[in-house]
Amino acid sequence: MGAECSLTYAAVTPARDEERNLARLAESLLAQSVKPVKWIIVENGSQDGTLALASALARAHPWIEVMQIEPSIKYRRTIAERAFQAGVEALAGSGDLVAKVDADVSFGEDYFCGLLRAFEQDEGLGIASGACLEEHRGAWREVSLFGDHCFGQSRVYRRACLDAVLPLEGAAFTTIDETKARLAGFCTRTLRHLPYYHNRPEATNDGSLWESWHRQGVAAYQLGYRPSYLLMRSSYRAMHQRSALALIVGYVSAFSRRMPRYPDARVVGAIRDEQRMRRAFLAMRGTRGGARRSTTGQVVERAPGDARGLTSADRAREPEPEPDTTGQTTR
């Protein structure tokens, strides 16, 4: 893929105790056929060598910057949101597009070139991500996602769209900002021909999986999720991850405590309307829980190490892949 693109992008990476992951991500970004005009690494109280590595990268490359925010007692998604927003402010308008890139992802050299071209071809595209692959029993599998939603670990915002959706709010910011984007006239999309690798399963840096699903259940109540949709989603996810039942527990807990609802009625109404359409779609298609699987749920072949942005040390440690016979996907 060629590297001629009319749009530019800047990247922001929240990072706490991410030394090994950050090295992998840096290798991926440095290899991009179209590099960001600026990459800001926002460090938040790391106890490992994250800050030292980020500082070394900034000294070696003038387009990389490091900033620090007040350390948090424990990692939370809300802290990552705060770090991202601090990084966006520090960009000072750099880039036609802004990429939120978590430290634990990696991708091939034309990943961002492909994203830029998608935004060039569709002026209404407000938020986009590539397809998320996670490793399961030695093979990389595409994570299920419904419709035109985008993944949170590596998503790109058109700057005008980002201005319309900021500030990012709460544990369910990926739902809120996509809804705000659509209400502002933008569309959102996952570009399945552009895979990226999520080198740490969702929520493993966010406390236990039960705790993470519980927080999502609380957020679902606050956003006014339809109970029928919530039950359907939790039941489907629990087939592969029993901790997903905490989604219901969190929802009921928030209901019993009468926690405050999200104040924007337009956003809540749009979310509930979409969940009604999802139910109709499921009834017609008979799909399992509304998740869009990789093509018939097949195993995604392991890509070469360089395509994932692995460091030489990672490649040396990499085990031989095991055959996968489960037909499962993760989220």
* pLDDT at residue 82 in the model: 85
Structure tokens belonging to residue 39: 């990459």
Nearest Cα residue to 310 out of 104, 41, 164: 104
Which ranges of the chain does DSSP label H, i.e. alpha helix? 19-30, 50-60, 77-91, 111-121, 159-165, 173-183, 209-222, 227-238, 246-256, 265-285, 312-317
Q: Which domains does the chain have, with CATH numbers?
A: 9-198 (3.90.550.10), 209-285 (no CATH)
CB contact at 8 A, 154 and 25: no
Q: pLDDT tens per residue, the chain (331 residues)?
A: 556 789 999 999 999 999 999 999 999 999 999 999 999 999 988 899 999 999 999 999 999 999 998 876 554 555 778 889 999 999 999 999 999 999 999 999 999 999 999 999 999 999 999 999 988 778 888 887 766 788 889 999 999 999 999 887 766 677 888 999 999 999 999 999 999 999 975 544 445 778 878 888 898 898 889 998 888 888 877 887 788 899 899 999 999 999 988 888 898 888 888 888 655 455 445 433 333 333 323 334 434 344 444 444 343 433 333 333 333 333 3
* pLDDT at residue 130 in the model: 95
The residues that bridge with 43 in the sheet, in sequence order, are: 15, 68
* pLDDT at residue 275 in the model: 82
Task: For 212-236, write each residue's pLDDT tens digit.
Answer: 788 888 988 988 899 988 888 888 7
CA 181, CA 267: separation in Å to the nearest integer?
A: 10
* pLDDT at residue 327 in the model: 34
Q: In Å, what is the CA distance from 331 to each residue of 20, 48, 241, 268, 324?
A: 23, 28, 9, 23, 17
CA 167, CA 84: separation in Å to the nearest integer?
A: 10
* pLDDT at residue 49 in the model: 94
CA 100, CA 13: separation in Å to the nearest integer?
A: 6
Task: For 94-146, write each residue's pLDDT tens digit.
Answer: 999 999 999 999 999 999 999 999 999 999 999 999 999 988 778 888 887 76
